Amino acid sequence: MRVIALLNQKGGVGKTTLSIHLATALARTGKVLLIDADPQHSALDWSAQREAASTFNVIGLPKPTLHRDIATLGAPYDWIIIDGPPRVNELARSAIAASDLVIVPVQPSPYDVWAAKDIVDIIRECEISRPQVLSRFLVNRLVPNTTLAGEITDALSEFDVKSFATIVRNRTEYAKSARMGLTALETEPSGQAAAEIQALAKEVSSLLEKTHA
């Protein structure tokens, strides 16, 4: 069992979108449970729209006891993905305490870079009791050939957290596919969104396999 949390205290950075897409990609390699830890229950709403057969289970667990609950709940799964809430620090701490990898989505804007400090500080605090936890920034909604696109990698390098080589671009397919409880991997399997999510899943798999080898 590998546990991955998508966290950022800032709202609207892509935690839910990326959780659902990563869950769909990883479900092709093993059994996946998506834990919706957000009281807004967006991942559960997404799942309720779905008419197609589900490729992974989704449960709501917006409680700061996640780290204890996952130990029993998670046993039958290869991958657990936690879609974190914005703002709630207690839930973020509990998710980190359960995680092998924390993914911090950030958009290429100065506001996102400044706000990233909050979650980085929480990760640092939690590392004291969970030193093995890995963390990575994931640039989301990049619009190529803009000044902001060029600046984001430099700006993030100020933090002591690495970034994924995979960068997720701003693509309408991410939002469009969600209307029917689907993902871009299913609506446009040979599209560019699908390709970047598969690249992300590959990076995540090799990162966790290498660490736990």
Ligand X SMILES: Nc1ncnc2c1ncn2[C@@H]1O[C@H](COP(=O)(O)OP(=O)(O)OP(=O)(O)O)[C@@H](O)[C@H]1O
Using CB under 6 A, list all residues that contact ligand X: 11-17, 38, 40, 42, 86, 140-141, 168, 170-171, 174-175
Q: Minimum Å distance from CB 45 to ligand X?
A: 10
Helix axis angle, 66-73 relative to 89-98, nearest 10°? Answer: 40
Is residue 8 near Mg ion by the rule CB under 5 A?
no
Q: Give CA separation, 36 vs 29, 40, 50, in Å.
A: 21, 9, 16
Choose from ligand X, Mg ion, none: what does 196 bind? Cβ within 5-8 Å by kind: none
Choose from ligand X, Mg ion, none: what does 24 bind? Cβ within 5-8 Å by kind: none
Is residue 15 near Mg ion by the rule CB under 5 A?
yes
Is residue 17 near Mg ion by the rule CB under 5 A?
no
Alpha helices in the chain (DSSP H): 15-26, 42-49, 66-73, 89-98, 110-127, 147-156, 172-178, 184-187, 192-212
C-alpha span between 49 and 38 (Å, rounded): 18
C-alpha span between 26 and 80 (Å, rounded): 10
| Contact window for Mg ion (CB under 5 A) among 38-46, 69-77, 89-97, 106-114 | 38-46
Choose from Mg ion, ligand X, none: what does 86 bind? Cβ within 5-8 Å by kind: ligand X
Which CB atom, from 68 or from 179, has the smaller least distance to ligand X? 179
C-alpha span between 138 and 201 (Å, rounded): 12
Chain residues binding Mg ion by CB under 5 A are 15-16, 42
